[in-house]
Amino acid sequence: MSTTELLQREWTAFRRPGRLIALAAAALTVIAISLVSSLGNRSSCDPGPCPAVPTAGDGSTVSDRFWFLHRDLGPEGSITVRMTSMTGTITYPPPNHDQIVSGLVPWAKAGIIVKDGLRQGSQYAALMMTGSHGVRFQYDYRHDVAGSAGGMSEQSPRWLRLSRSADTITAAESTDGRRWHTVGTAKLAGLPNTVQVGLFATSPGDLTLRKVGLGGAVEEVRFTQAVGSFDNVTVEGGATGSWHSDPVGQMNRTDWEKYHLASGAVQHDGVITVSGTGDIGPRSEEGVPAIALTLLGLPVALIVVIVVAARHGARTARDMDSRQVIAARAAVVGAATFVTGLVAVGVAFPAGLVILEANGIPVQPVSAPTGARVIAGVAGVLALCAMLTYGFGVLLRRGWAAILAGTSLVAVPYAVTALPLLPDTVSEWLLRLTPAAGFAVTQTMVKYPQVTAHYAPSAGYFPLPWWAGLVLLCAYTAVVVRLALGPRVRKPPRTPTGDSAGAAQVSQSH
């Protein structure tokens, strides 16, 4: 029998109503839970509508909120300042949450910036002092170049300079204002002739982790504010007009800013003080990532697939079929599951993202290649999990044992790491060592060193890149299926026994 004929025969044998109904139910579950969870998530702000999430030139959502003391700068020119101090405030930090303290979060920022207007998401290049990462040159949200290390005190001011030549921005720093060190250069393509240049301050929220469950963690973020003090401010070349003080993004709405110290810029005796809150940089997904909300039904579908594949594998073991039949059945199980996953995720994922965006939930845009990777990748992972569990069914010869093995190795690790239940370290190792690592194909969250975020499985961040997780799952599947393809013994033909044997002898004698 040819391979094609064998596959056709096994597909005909596989497509029993019970199995097809189970796979269809798994697909419908993924779609239904995605639509319900997406429709149930809405964003509301009081008073008025929620502010739009800033979008950069490449379409990605970003953080872009700070206080800006600015003026015009032409195509050739520079700004030079001496930064004399940087201070800040953190509201109600742990452990007691009963006091407001002085201090800076690690990525609080104050310094000088060149920006294409006041629109959030527009191009920029900034040279800054940070809370605990020294001098940094950052531009266009994703790029970060380190300057000198160390913090700042009243006795050690830092000179900062940004120079513009058409689309090229050069950043330099100095300790005395005479000897300069170039930190970095950026090319901002398409920068207009007139841009805004000036002083800025911003400070992201104070991120702390609160222990829950068996050692898991959930994020808590508190308001912070950074204050930078400057003197010897010099703008040269092509600068026109006067100074203006404006927020980029909404500010001065929190109780701290309303009743204690509003963000803004103040000039007194030649010293300019700029205070602000927010951040400039890539936007990390806050709370549950949007992609996770659209695929909440995956664990249910995975368990259905495991049960179907395990029982089919156990039936194969009882029939003592040949290697060719085992391989054909594994391929059929994988193909049927792949189509199921392709339909389920192909509907749930894009539809869920559209609904979330319509409901005002910030959604990081997903490029066409990334969307295709998620849809095809999840379908492939489900297919591999089905083949893995089918192999367990053949090896263990009992459906319940194969279901237990598949659930323990894949479904349980995937489910418990998606929740803030276990310590982050334990969850990360589970997703490095078990076949559940394959679900890293769903990851769209990017880890940026200059962004403080909770990079953990419960927050949607997998410890392995998507391709490495898929390779690990493939390795598990290949090993188990290869073991299932071990030496097989065909059932011997039935031989006559008892009365039938005697009847055969009488027949022969006549």
CA dihedral of residues 427, 433, 438, 439 (deg, nearest 10)? -10
* Co-location of 328 and 385 in the same domain: yes
Indicate the pLDDT class of residue 401, thresholds 50, 70 and 90. very high
> Residue 319: pLDDT above 80?
no
Per-residue model confidence as pLDDT tens digits over 333-386: 999 999 999 999 999 999 999 998 888 887 778 889 999 999 999 999 999 999
Domain interval for residue 271: 62-282
* Co-location of 250 and 292 in the same domain: no
In a domain, 498, yes or no: no
Last residue in a domain, options 220, 250, 282: 282
Give ∠ CA 276-168-129 in degrees, rounded to 5.
30
Q: Which residues pair with 65 in a beta bridge?
A: 279
CB 134 within 8 A of CB 106: no
Is 117 exposed, middle or buried, given 0-12, 13-18 or 19+ CB atoms closer than 10 A? middle
In a domain, 49, yes or no: no
Give the tokens for residue 431: 């997703």
Per-residue model confidence as pLDDT tens digits over 265-314: 999 998 999 999 999 999 876 555 678 888 999 999 999 999 999 999 99
* Co-location of 368 and 303 in the same domain: yes
Taken in order 275, 280, 285, 290, the sign of the CA dihedral is positive
Find the CATH number of the domain harbouring 226. 2.60.120
Give the tokens for residue 130: 């940070």
* Co-location of 28 and 70 in the same domain: no
> Residue 504: pLDDT above 50?
no
| Number of domains within the chain | 2
CA gap 224, 209 in Å, rounded: 16
Q: Which of 317, 364, 285, 341 is nearest to 59 (CA)?
A: 364
What global pTM score does this model have? 0.86
Q: Phi first, then psi: give them for residue 231, nearest 5 degrees.
A: -145, -175
Q: Phi first, then psi: give them for residue 176, nearest 5 degrees.
A: -130, -5
In this predicted structure, what is the pLDDT of residue 446? 87
Indicate the pLDDT class of residue 192, thresholds 50, 70 and 90. very high
In a domain, 78, yes or no: yes
Three-class secondary structure of residue 184 per DSSP: strand
* Co-location of 19 and 128 in the same domain: no
* Co-location of 189 and 318 in the same domain: no
